[in-house]
Amino acid sequence: MVEMAICLPVLVLLVWGTIEIANSIHAKQVLLSAAHEGAMLAQQPSVTDTEVLSKVNAVLTARQVDGCTITLVGDSGQAYTSLTPGELFQITVSRDDSNHFVNISSVSVVVKGMKQ
């Protein structure tokens, strides 16, 4: 019993930590795929930011992820619609998962692309 009391916490901590980290890597992967889709769309000419955001949202919904914050702005914070061809935009998708004991799963992904 005493041995168990020494070993079990270490083992549980290891397993739990592995799961938690893997979980956050997976979450990041999902956010990345959503940002990817959005960026591919945002690279097209005459696209509005609303269209891009709804595309990103659609991917997140399909992957059953909610509670995300999505922003689409120019590289230096200006409005996406004000960008001229050749300027960079950036899409940020972040998820703050406060359900976790240690908030390791709050992840954020930034993808940059060029306006056409």
Partner 1 sequence: MNSTRPLFKNRKAAVVVLFALLLPVLLVIFGFTIDYANMQRVRAESQVIADLSAKTACNVLSTTNDTLAAANAAKVVASGNTIAGTAHQLRDQDIEFGNAVQNGSGGWDFSSGGTPYNSVRVMIKRDATTPDGGVNLFFGALYGQPNFDLEQTATASFRELDICLVLDRSGSMKRPAVGTLTSAEWLARVDLPPQPDSRFVAVLDAVDVFVTALATTANPEQLAGVTYASDATLDESITFTHSNVTTAFRDYSLNPMYGGTETKKGIEEARKHLEAIASGRDQIIVLLTDGTYDGGNPFDEAAKCADKGIQVYTISFGDDANQADMQQIAASGNGEHYHASDPAELSSVFKRLAGDFTILID
Nearest-approach distance from CB 72 to partner 1, in angstroms? 14
Residue 44 binds to partner 1 (criterion: CB under 8 A): yes
Q: CA triplet 25, 29, 33: central angle to 5 degrees?
A: 170
Which residues between 46 and 65 bind partner 1 (CB under 8 A)?
46-47
Nearest-approach distance from CB 68 to partner 1, in angstroms? 17
**Do the beta carbons of residue 12 and residue 42 sit within 8 Å?**
no
**Do the beta carbons of residue 60 and residue 91 sit within 8 Å?**
no
Which residues between 10 and 29 bind partner 1 (CB under 8 A)?
10-11, 14-15, 17-18, 21-22, 25-26, 28-29
